[in-house]
Amino acid sequence: MSESAAADGTVAVDAGRYLYCLVSLDGAGENEDPPRLDTTGIEGAPVTVVESAAAPVGAVVHPRREPFDSTDLTKLRDWLLAHQQVVDAAGDRFGTPLPVRFDTVLEGDDDAVAAWLGRNADQVADAFDEVAGCWEYRVTLSWDSTAFESEQRATDAQLSAIDRRLDQSGDGKRFLLEKQYDQRVRELVRERRAALQSDLVDRLAEQGRQVTERPVRSDAAASLDVELDDDAVAQVALLAPPDRESEIGSSLDEVAATPGVDVRFTGPWPPYTFTTQITDDA
Amino acid sequence: MQPTRADDHAIVELLDVLLERGVVVQADIVVTVADVPLIGISLRAAIAGIAKMTEYDDYAWDRPSPG
């Protein structure tokens, strides 16, 4: 790779293309030569669609010699949102895109990008088959266990038994019994959380083509100081056709009717979660 | 309920997803930052700060469904 290392460790190539997403040119764009996208990219960069000669697919790009990197938060946010807006525009124009991870820069000019698309035409076609006609929806289920815990304190046989023994015990024994009591409450809460989680996944699996659970706290989200996260039970991504939105919404209304449960339903998004790698060696 | 893209939490979630998900390109022609592929470390570290920024009014997030 012909690149020069700058003092701060970044590299810049002589020519490169920032890659937003891949689009299928099998439909909307096929009568237009070359296919165009009326939007601007990160920092107002001119966005073009590079067509593959080997298959009816294109790459949405702008010229860029190095990856984006900055500690300026406003800048970072603007880059991320601009990236997303280009992917949105591509989705509006060409149907479900294959969104590429933020900050992917390929070395070379449009021809190099077209050659890369051609080398990987089969993988790209398979990836489009996976998501065709579908979009990503994300569901977060949060649960405030307070009411459930009160109910269990009143109704659970094991807790009642520990309670009775507590009344008849001295200080030393009480300490152990109180510990047992708390453990039992935590166990009941854990079981309930698992049941809520699997019920949600089962419901969504019925509605969509693919369902994936995300960790409730990703590495990046772990640093977020968002109160809701403490009660988060499940984060699920669903790949589904948009005409299923109202059925999915109705099913989630039923879930949200459970006391203490809060459901957030977002989308439609490009299928970020349902795409994998495009590897030259594959 | 209907899906939304408009609330602040959806945007926080989106920024998180943008940094962690999407097609990963493995090829000799991918340009990296100081041998850390794709994403500068500062980007990841900065997401908590991004999440606290609430001035998203310039962005039209609430979009009609496709199809």
Residue A237, SS3 per DSSP: strand
* B1 falls within a domain: no
Q: Using alpha carbons, list the distances in angstroms from residue B22 to A35, A87, A274, B55.
A: 23, 11, 8, 25
DSSP strand E in A64-171: where?
A: 98-99, 105-107, 135-143
Rounded mean pLDDT of chain B?
Answer: 65
Peptide linkage before A97 cis (omega within 30 of 0): no
DSSP state of B57: T
Query: Are B20 and A218 in contact (CB < 8 Å)?
Result: yes
The β-bridge partners of A87 are: none
At residue A216, the pLDDT reads 64
A227 CB within 8 Å of a chain B CB: no
* B46 falls within a domain: yes
The boundaries of the domain holding residue B36 are: 8-51
* B34 falls within a domain: yes
* Chain B CB contacts of A224 below 8 Å: 12, 16, 47-48, 51
Structure tokens at A244: 């299923």
Structure tokens at A53: 């000669």
Measured between alpha carbons, how far is A135 from A154 in angstroms, rounded to an integer? 45
In one letter, which amino acid is A276?
Answer: T
User: CA nearest A254 in B: which residue?
Assistant: B1
B51 to chain A, closest Cα gap in Å = 7
A13 to chain B, closest Cα gap in Å = 8
Query: Are B3 and A245 in contact (CB < 8 Å)?
Result: yes
Q: CA end-to-end span of chain B, whole Å?
A: 19
Q: What ipTM is given for this predicted complex?
A: 0.77
Query: Are A80 and B15 in contact (CB < 8 Å)?
Result: yes
* B3 falls within a domain: no
Q: Which percentage of chain A shows pLDDT scores above 90?
A: 69
User: CA nearest A76 in B: which residue?
Assistant: B43
Instruction: Locate the domains of chain A by residue range.
Output: 3-131, 135-274
* B30 falls within a domain: yes
Helix ranges (H only) for A14-103 are 73-94
Instruction: Please name the residue that has the structure tokens 């009609």.
Output: B64
The β-bridge partners of A141 are: A234, A263
* B27 falls within a domain: yes
- Rounded to an integer, the average pLDDT of A206-220 is 76
* B66 falls within a domain: no
Please name the member of A99, A220, A267 whose beta carbon is closest to the beta carbon of B47: A220
Peptide linkage before A268 cis (omega within 30 of 0): yes
Give the predicted TM-score (pTM) of the model.
0.84
pLDDT at B52 over 80: no
Please name the member of A103, A138, A268 whose beta carbon is closest to the beta carbon of B66: A268
Asked whether the beta carbons of A248 and A236 are under 8 A apart, the reply is no
Measured between alpha carbons, how far is A173 from A108 in angstroms, rounded to an integer? 74
B19 to chain A, closest Cα gap in Å = 6
Asked whether the beta carbons of A132 and A27 are under 8 A apart, the reply is no
Read off the pLDDT band of B32 (50, 70, 90). low
Q: Using alpha carbons, list the distances in angstroms from residue A161 to A157, A181, A189.
A: 6, 10, 18
- Residues counted in chain A: 282
Asked whether the beta carbons of A23 and A60 are under 8 A apart, the reply is yes
Among B16, B25, B35, the residue to mutate for chain A (most A Cβ within 10 A)? B25
A272 to chain B, closest Cα gap in Å = 4
Among the ranges given (A132-141, A165-174, A187-196, B51-60), the one the predictor scored with the smallest mean pLDDT: B51-60
User: CA nearest B59 in A: which residue?
Assistant: A81
DSSP state of B38: S
Helix ranges (H only) for chain B are 8-20, 41-45, 47-51
Please name the member of B4, B19, B21 whose beta carbon is closest to the beta carbon of A273: B21
Tell me which residue of A51, A127, A140, A70 sits closest to A96, measured CA to CA: A127
Read off the pLDDT band of A202 (50, 70, 90). very high
Instruction: Please name the residue that has the structure tokens 């997401």.
Output: B47
pLDDT at B56 over 60: no
Asked whether the beta carbons of A49 and A60 are under 8 A apart, the reply is yes
Query: Count of domains in chain B?
Result: 1
B55 to chain A, closest Cα gap in Å = 10
Please report, to the nearest 10 degrees, the dihedral formed by the alpha carbons of residues A277, A61, B21, A204 taken in order.
-90
Radius of gyration for the alpha carbons in chain A, expressed in angstroms and rounded: 25
What's the pLDDT tens digit per position in A50-76?
999 888 999 999 999 988 877 777 787
* B45 falls within a domain: yes
Query: Are A281 and B26 in contact (CB < 8 Å)?
Result: yes
Measured between alpha carbons, how far is A127 from A114 in angstroms, rounded to an integer? 17
At residue A73, the pLDDT reads 72
The β-bridge partners of A241 are: none
Residues 94-153 of A with CB under 8 A from B: 95-96, 98-108, 112, 116, 127, 133, 135, 137-138, 140
At residue A224, the pLDDT reads 43
Pairing of strands A261-269, A11-13: unpaired
Highest mean pLDDT, choosing among A12-16, A253-257, B26-30: A253-257
pLDDT at A142 over 60: yes
At residue A239, the pLDDT reads 97
A275 Cβ contact partners less than 8 Å away, ≥ 6 residues apart:
A98, A99, A127, A130, A131, B21, B22, B23
Residue A67 dihedral angles phi and psi, to the nearest 5°: -65, 160
